Structures are given as structure tokens and as C-alpha cells.
């Protein structure tokens, strides 16, 4: 139940775009990939998925690039998680037994259920705006070097 690289790249990409959008400009995938030190093609696919679900907008051309959609700041981390990861993993047995549920629990079921619920609550209750106004000083350099 660890977060994927895709999720981390998506969150960092959105945060990076949000900081540069304050300067009134769109950001191209090459710049984001270079600054975040992530593979350009992989990041491009992730950002295009975020466009498909309405978390980002993209414009082609020399003055094109990515920008936040109007509802991005109010979107939750769970919205990103559903886009980059299989949300069903929150229900799979962590030790991979064939049948694990409240009626037939594996040895870790009770403990992991508490952790899963808290994790899901965190994702559902944390918005992008919460991250951008969290009191933690977000700088371009810090986003670039953050490892999620």
C-alpha cells in the first residue's frame, strides 16, 4: 500500500505548475521533467492522464504547456491517487491470501484495516490547496528535490 512513483510525480508536477502559474505562464513538460529530475515521457503520460480527468489543462504550440484547471486546487489527493494508482489496492489483502475480509480475516486484517481507513481519510481530506498553503515553505527547489 505504498504510494507509486506516478502518484509522487503527479503531485509534484501539479505543485510545480501551481507555483509557476502564479507568474501567469504555462509550463511545458520538458521544463517540469528537468526541474523534478524525472523521465520526460513518463511524466508526460501522467500529466496527460491528469488532463483527461480534468485536473490539468494543456495547450499545444510554442506558448502552450500545462496549467491548473479551475477545480484543481479543490481536488483531493484521492482524486490524483485514483488517476495514477489502482484504488482497489486499498481493499486487497496485504499478504495476498485468496479470501480476506471481515468474515475470513488474514492475520493482519484488523491492524491493516485501521491503517487503510486512516490513509484513505488522509487522501480524501487533503486538497491540493492544503498542500500549497500548508505553512511548509514550498519553493521550486523544494518541490524539485522532494521525494514522495
**pLDDT tens string 31-76:** 999 999 999 999 999 999 999 999 999 999 888 999 999 999 999 9
- Whether residue 6 is predicted with pLDDT greater than 60 in this model: the reply is yes
- In this prediction, residues 4-16 reach a mean pLDDT of 94
- Answer whether residue 95 shows pLDDT above 90: no
* Set of cell numbers at residue 95: 499478504
Q: Give me the mean pLDDT over the 68-89 stretch.
A: 92
Q: Which pTM value belongs to this model?
A: 0.85
Give the model's pLDDT for residue 148.
Answer: 47
Give percent of the chain above pLDDT 90.
56
CA–CA distance, 81 with 25 (Å, rounded to integer): 26
| pLDDT tens digits along 116-148 | 899 999 999 999 999 888 655 566 666 666 554
Classify 68 as helix, strand or coil: strand
pLDDT of residue 88: 78
For the beta carbon of residue 81, count every other beta carbon within 10 angstroms: 23
Amino acid at each position: 500500500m505504498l504510494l507509486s512513483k506516478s502518484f509522487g510525480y503527479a503531485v509534484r508536477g501539479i505543485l510545480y505548475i501551481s507555483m509557476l502559474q502564479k507568474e501567469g505562464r504555462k509550463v511545458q513538460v520538458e521544463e517540469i521533467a528537468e526541474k523534478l529530475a524525472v523521465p520526460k515521457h513518463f511524466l508526460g503520460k501522467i500529466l496527460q492522464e491528469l488532463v483527461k480527468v480534468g485536473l490539468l489543462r494543456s495547450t499545444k504550440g510554442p506558448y502552450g504547456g500545462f496549467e491548473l484547471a479551475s477545480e484543481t486546487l479543490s481536488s483531493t489527493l484521492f482524486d490524483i491517487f485514483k488517476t495514477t494508482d489502482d484504488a482497489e489496492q486499498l481493499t486487497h489483502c496485504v499478504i495476498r491470501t485468496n479470501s480476506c475480509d471481515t468474515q475470513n480475516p488474514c492475520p493482519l486484517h484488523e491492524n491493516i484495516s485501521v491503517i487503510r481507513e486512516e490513509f484513505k481519510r488522509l487522501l480524501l481530506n487533503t486538497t491540493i490547496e492544503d498542500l500549497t498553503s500548508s505553512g511548509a515553505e514550498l519553493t521550486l527547489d523544494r518541490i524539485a528535490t522532494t521525494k514522495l
